[in-house]
């Protein structure tokens, strides 16, 4: 058993990598629009 790392993190943050936030927004928007389009054009 490892005993060298007794210091425990209280929080494991995920710092943003510059440039990815706009990518996320664009992909998320396209995905939502695409899904809405599919749903509105479905037969049910």
User: N- to C-terminal Cα distance for the chain?
Assistant: 57
Whole-number minimum distance, CB 37 to other proteins, in Å? 15
Q: 1 is written with which tokens? A: 């058993």
Would you count residue 13 as binding other proteins (CB under 8 A)?
Answer: yes
Q: Count Cα atoms within 13 angstroms, Cβ side, for 1.
A: 2
Whole-number minimum distance, CB 17 to other proteins, in Å? 5
Would you count residue 41 as binding other proteins (CB under 8 A)?
Answer: no
**Interface residue list for other proteins (CB under 8 A):** 1-2, 4-5, 8-17, 20-21, 23-24, 27-28, 31, 44
């Amino acid at each position: 058993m490892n005993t060298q790392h007794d210091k425990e993190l209280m929080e494991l943050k995920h710092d943003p990598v510059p440039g990815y936030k706009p990518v996320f927004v664009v992909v998320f928007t396209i995905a939502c629009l695409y899904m809405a389009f599919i749903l509105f054009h479905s037969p049910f």
